[in-house]
Amino acid sequence: MLVSPTLDKPGAGLPWYETLYLRYVTFPNYVRTMTWHSGVELFHEEGQNIKALIELLNNDQLLTPVLIDRLRGLEDSSRFWSPVMVLEHLVIVGRELKDIIISLNEEKVPNKDLDIADVKPSDKTGAEIIGRFNGFQDEFITVMSDERYHRSSAMKFDHPWLGPLNSFQWLCLAAGHQYLHRTQIRKILKK
């Protein structure tokens, strides 16, 4: 029987110094290098890279949680996941990000509070999440490629770690989020 390690609770956040550096240095510098098109393209490329990593895995490899060292930008509670748990998280977060971007570009502030603890995968995730992940990747790219969304909104919405972001910054976050979790899957597979 697999014993779960003792980790911080979901939503505990990042170390304070890492959050400050991410919010005021790393993320703003990253956003300055992006355009709407490059954000959509990076999201797509990272999705393709994730698909390539998981396509040859058997059910045990897909479903077995593996403890990895913490990556910068990854909560401690997310270090003991299986590849399909990562995929489920990407779908949950990706849908939230898509809805936020659409709302902000329609000049509406989303009527919700974001809680990092609410976007964690279940421990009952099965291999069927792969189909949902693939479908969501196509949906996100189709919606974000629509000319109606190729702009930065005047409206902003608070991210728990990064503060108020406009629609373009949320798109950049979506692409960077895919990169972070593709790196996580690679670390899982190396163990």
For the chain, state the CA radius of gyration: 16
Please check whether residue 107 lies inside any domain of the structure.
yes
Please check whether residue 87 lies inside any domain of the structure.
yes
Please check whether residue 92 lies inside any domain of the structure.
yes
Provide the pLDDT for residue 113.
Answer: 82
Query: In this predicted model, what pLDDT tens digit does every residue of 103-162 receive, in sequence order?
Result: 999 999 898 888 887 888 876 667 789 999 999 999 999 999 988 877 788 999 999 999
* Confidence band, pLDDT 50/70/90 cuts, at residue 3: low
- Number of independent structural domains in the chain: 1
Please check whether residue 30 lies inside any domain of the structure.
no
Q: Which domain holds residue 140?
A: 36-190
Please check whether residue 28 lies inside any domain of the structure.
no
For residue 160, give Cα distances in angstroms to 11, 13, 38, 164, 175: 10, 9, 25, 9, 18
Residues 6+ apart with CB under 8 A from 175: 34, 39, 40, 42, 43, 46
Where residue 157 sits, what CATH number does that domain have? 1.20.120.450
Query: In this predicted model, what pLDDT tens digit does every residue of 73-117 receive, in sequence order?
Result: 999 999 999 999 999 999 999 999 999 999 999 999 898 888 887
Please check whether residue 158 lies inside any domain of the structure.
yes
